[in-house]
Amino acid sequence: VPAAILRIARNVSIRRRGVLIGICLTGSYSTGHICGRSDVDLIGLIRGDKSYREYYNESGYDVDLFLFSETFAETAIARGRGDIVIMLDRGIIIEDTDGRLENLISLAKRRFEAGPSRDDRQLQFIRHRLVTVLDDCSDCIEASPATAVMIMVSHLKMIADVKLSNHHLWDLPYK
């Protein structure tokens, strides 16, 4: 981990002393897939029941700080919230005061390896949206091809999620 990134994480720790349980680096800096637009993604495990997100610039780096309560993170992992599971699965611990962040990361790794459940409501919702989008596109393709393309592009992520989830390829190291 670059020294500048460690300083940013340690600054978060200093600013939130007494509230922060642990902090980890995630995203492109944790996977090594850094590009010119990469921001610094940090997850802070905090005391209390509130969870929130901050976005700011520090030392020339855009920082995306996710602050999760332990209960929120555990619930999100149990429900298979893909974004949180993936972020924690790829997390590199910077500071962990009592091992709770390490336990959450282990839990996320096990959940990630298990893959989505077959009766997952999120997957059912995505399938429904995919059918709706395809229907919408078929309705407007002749009258407005540009609109049909825009509809397809705006829902590409959902289509990819369905395809990758169904073929258990959703753990590939790219966004």
Give pLDDT, residue 86.
82
Give pLDDT, residue 114.
78
Question: What's the predicted TM-score (pTM) here?
Answer: 0.67
| 10-residue averages of pLDDT along the chain (175 residues) | 90 88 91 82 91 91 92 87 81 93 92 69 66 67 72 67 57 47
How are strands ordered across the β-sheet holding 61-69?
52-58, 61-69, 40-46, 20-26, 92-96
What is the β-pairing status of strands 40-46 and 52-58? Answer: unpaired
Give pLDDT, residue 136.
66
Give pLDDT, residue 58.
94
Instruction: Determine how many CB atoms are found less than 10 A away from the CB of residue 63.
Output: 19
Angle, nearest 10°, between helix axes 82-89 and 70-78?
110
Whether the CB-CB separation of 40 and 67 falls below 8 Å is answered with no
Give pLDDT, residue 28.
84
